[in-house]
Chain A
Amino acid sequence: MSDQTIKLLVIDDEPIVGKRLKQAFMKMGMEVETFTDPREAMNTIKQKSFDIVVTDLKMEGMDGMTILEEVQKLNPKAKVIIITGYAQVDTASEAFRKGVFDFIPKPFRLEELKNIILRAMSGALSESNKNI
C-alpha cells in the first residue's frame, strides 16, 4: 500500500509556495518534499523517484525546463507540472513538446492545482493498473 502513496516534489524558490503546498497536499495523504534550491532538488531526484513534480520555471541556478528534462530521463513515468510567474506562449508550447503534464501560470488557485494533480494521480494509477 505504501506504493500507493503519491510522492510529490515541489521546487520553487519562493519558500511560501513550498510551505503551503506541503500543508495542502499532506492533508490529502501525499508524501510531499519541498525545495527552494533547484540544485538540491536535483540531487534528491537522482536518489529518489517521485510520482509528481511541481516546479517553478525561472529559478536561480537552474531552469524548470532542465528539471523537466532531467526528471523524464530518470523517471519517465513521473508527471511534471510547471508553474511560472511569467507565462509565455512559446515557453508553454516548448514545455508541452518536452512532455510536461501541465503548465500553469501564477497566481493559480489551489483548487486548480489540486485538480491537475488529481488528474495526474489517476493517470499514474491507471497506468500502474494497466501494468498490473
Chain B
Amino acid sequence: MFISFAFRTIYGKLILSFSIICIISGLAAMAAIYSLYKVEDKISVIESFYEINQRILEVRSSEKNFLLYENKNELISTIDKLNEIKTSMDALETSGIITNHNIKNCKTEFENYYDLIHQLIRKDYSEIDFNNLKINLRAYGHDFMNCAMSMDSSAKQQIERESRNYKAIAFILILIILPICAMIGIFLARWIMTPLREIRKAVAQVMRGELSYIPVEPTKKICSECAELIDALNKMLQALEDKHQQLIQAEKLMALGKVTAGIAHEINNPLNNISLTAEILMEDISNMDCDERRGMIHDIIVQVDRAREIVRNLLDFSRARKPTDWNRVNLGELIHNTLGLLKNQIRLSGVETELNLPQEPVTIMGNSSQLQQVFVNIILNALQAMKDGGKLRIEIKAVSEQDKAMIEISDTGPGIPHAVMEHIFEPFFTTKHDGTGLGLSVSYGIVKEHKGDIQVISEPGQGTTFRLEFPLWL
C-alpha cells in the first residue's frame, strides 16, 4: 500500500528518500556515538593506568627507603597505596577492557608483592629470612612493576588498534552512504523531472497545434500529482478553447452587425414588393386579365424566394457550429453564398465585383461557417477600404502541384501603409473609429486552424490583396 503510494506520487517518493537518508544518517550517528563512548572508556583506562603507575613508583620509592634504612614505617605507608592499586586493578578487570590473562598475571605478581610487604611488617621472621625477604621484596617489586608496565603498554596498543578500527569503520560508512545518497538524489531528480519534462513536451506540441490536449496516461502510473496537474492544464485548455470559440462567435455576430443595412434591404425590399403587388392585385383584380394576374403572382413568388435566400444565408452564417464540425467545403460555393449575404452591402457601397472561379470545383476540408467568417471579414475590410467605390476581385485557383487551394480577394482601396501592415493581425488593432480590430485576428486564427496561410500584398495607393492558401482536398 505504502510502496505503491511511494512510487506513484512525488510526495511519496520524497518521503521514501528522506526516510532512507534519515535511517542511514541515524545509523552513522549512532555508530559515531558508540565509538566516542568507547574512546571515553579507553581514556579512563589510560587514566587509571597512569594512576596505578604513579602509585607503583611511590610504593617502590618507599620500598627503596625501607631497604636502605629499614624503617618499617615506610612499608606501612605503602599499604594504603597498594590497596588503591588493587581496587584500580579490580575495576580494570571488571571493565573488561584489558585481556583477562594479562591482568591475572599482574594480579598474582601483585599478591606476591603485597603478601611479602605484609610479612615484613609483621616482623615474625628470623634475620636470614629477613635478608631473603629483602632480596625477594626487590625482585617482586621489580616483577610487579614490569608486569604493570607491560600491561599498560599492551593496553595502549590495544586502544590504538581499536581506535584505528573506528576510523576504518567511519571511512567505510562514508563510502557506503555517499553513493547511496547520490543514487537517491539522481533517482529522485529523474522521478520528478521525467514526468515534468513529458508535460513540457506535450504543452509545446499543444502550442504547435499537433495535440489538442495533454495525454495523462504515461505519467499517471509514476506521478499522480502530475496527473492532477495535467488534468488541471487540460481543463484550462478546454476553457481557453471555449473562450476562443465564444470570441469567434462574438466576432461573427459583430461582422453580421456591419451588414445589417444590406440584410435589411434584402429582406424589406422583397417584402415591400410583395405587399405592394398584393394590394394592387386585391384592388384591381376584377379589371385585370389572366396574364396580368399571373404575372403579378409570379412577381410575388420571385420576391419570396429572394427573401428566403437571404434569410437562409443569414442563418447559415450566424449559426454557432461546433468547431469540430468539419466537412468538405466547395470554395466556389462558399464564396457564392458569402456574396449572397453581402450582395446588397456591396451594391450599397457602390463597389463592382469581379469573380474568377475555375471550371472544376475547388474543395478543401474545414468548418464552412468559420471559413465563411474569414471571407466576410476580408470582404468587409475591402468594402470599408473602398468608401468611394472601386472594384472587388475574387479569384479561386487550385495549385495542384503544391496541393494547395488559393483564394485571392483584392480591392482597389488606398492600400495598407507599411507602419500599419505589421499590426493588422493583432487583436484589437484597428485604424477605424468604429472598428473592433478583431476581424483579421480572428480570421488568422481560423485560417491557422485549417492549416492554411494568409499573405497580404499591398502597396500604399495600389489597393490590397489578401491571398489565402489551404491544403487541397482531392
Contacts and interface: CB of A to CB of B under 8 A. Distances in A.
Interface of A: 14, 16-17, 20-21, 23-24, 27, 58, 60-61, 83, 85-86, 105-111
16 contacts: A14-B269, A14-B273, A16-B299, A20-B276, A20-B277, A20-B280, A23-B280, A24-B280, A58-B348, A85-B266, A85-B272, A106-B268, A107-B271, A107-B272, A109-B275, A110-B279
B260 interface: yes
Contacts of B299: 16
Contacts of B271: 106-107
A83 B271 CA distance: 13
Given A16-B303, A107-B275, A61 B280 contact: no
Interface residues of B, number: 24
Given A14-B273, A23-B284, A86 B279 contact: no
B206 interface: no
B336 interface: no
A112 to B, nearest CB: 10
Nearest to B262: A86
Contact of B265 (A24, A61, A85, A110): A85
B277 A85 contact: no
A16 B273 CA distance: 6
A129 to B, nearest CB: 30
Contacts of A108: 272, 275
Contacts of B261: 58, 86
Given A17-B276, A107-B271, 10 more contacts: A14-B273, A16-B299, A16-B303, A20-B279, A85-B269, A85-B272, A86-B264, A107-B275, A107-B276, A108-B272
B308 interface: no
B432 to A, nearest CB: 18
A109 B279 contact: yes
A64 B319 CA distance: 34
Interface string B262-301: 0011111101111111011001100000000000000100
A21 B265 contact: no
B273 A17 contact: yes
Contacts of B272: 14, 17, 83, 85, 106-108
Contacts of A27: 284
